[in-house]
Amino acid sequence: MALPLETPPARVEENHPVYTFLLHVAVWMTWPLMALAVAFGAAGLSASGWLAMLPLLLLLGLLTSDFVSGLFHWFFDNYGSPQTPVFGPTIELFRVHHDLPEDICNSNLVFTVGHVCIWVVPLALLQMGLWYLLGRSFVVSALLIYAASASLFLVLTNLFHKWAHLPVKPGWITWLQTQRLILESAHHTVHHTPPYQSYYCITTGWLNPLLFRVGFFPALERLLARWGMDKAV
């Protein structure tokens, strides 16, 4: 006879109403802040005669987000433990995700992207403050747009990740995935094939084939091992 399943532990946000409140505030502040950051940066580019750089800067931000998502994903999958200070709950969620990949589909928007928004909101305010104080030159405006783009796509990363696991998708999500504009389900399946040691990038996944071909993450693991930092068992 099958044993009854244990009740899964409550997530952090279910036990901390203050943290839940901060998640909601951060999520709803993120969208206008990102829009303002891009608008401020675009105004600076326009004043310098370089507004045509805007699409390139947005693309660079997207590529940076894809790379950073892979770096964090790789690290949390392979290093530390659920008992690691600060990042322990995040590490646990990443590792449980391999066993319960569709559980991410049960999270609403706030709990899907809010953990990133909490970091992005103060960073966006700092970036816009520096843009204002440093004179709104071409270089400062370009850096603001690049940083805002990377931050925005990092916020959206876990949403794209969630959509890759949806068993039934709206047509517009399917279209975005088939055009490879966001993380596509079959592409992400490569990562979910044991031993789960490749294709870590989860914004668009564009960088996965390149990083796999050059052996980027195994090289990082060898470097960390040389410094005495072993992978989790």
- Quick check: 180 and 171 in contact, CB under 8 A? no
Q: What is the pLDDT of residues 104-118, one digit of tens each?
A: 888 899 989 998 999
**Residue 8 domain-assigned?**
no
Query: Given pLDDT bands bounded at 50, 70 and 90, which one contains residue 14?
Result: low
Residue 1 located in a structural domain: no
- Cα-Cα-Cα-Cα dihedral of 206, 211, 214, 215, to 10°? -150
Q: Whole-angstrom Cα distance, residue 5 to residue 155?
A: 33
Q: Please, what is the Cα angle at 35 between 143 and 66, to 5 degrees?
A: 60
Going by C-alpha positions, the residue among 149, 204, 150 that lies closest to residue 177 is: 204
Per-residue pLDDT tens digits for 48-98: 999 999 999 999 999 999 999 999 999 999 998 877 777 777 778 787 888
Number of domains in the chain: 1
Reduced to 3 states (helix: H, G, I; strand: E, B; else coil), residue 128 is helix
User: Does any domain span residue 74?
Assistant: yes
What confidence score (pLDDT) does residue 123 get? 94
Confirm whether 216 is domain-assigned: yes
Residue type, 190: V
Tell me the residue range of the domain where 183 lies. 13-226
Q: What is the pLDDT of residues 152-180, one digit of tens each?
A: 999 999 999 999 999 999 999 999 999 99
Domain assignment present for 231: no
**85: preceding bond cis by omega (within 30 degrees):** no
CA 119 to CA 23: how far, in whole Å? 10
Asked whether residue 4 is domain-assigned, the answer is no
Residues 16-43: tens digit of each pLDDT: 788 889 999 999 999 999 999 999 999 9
pTM for the whole structure: 0.89
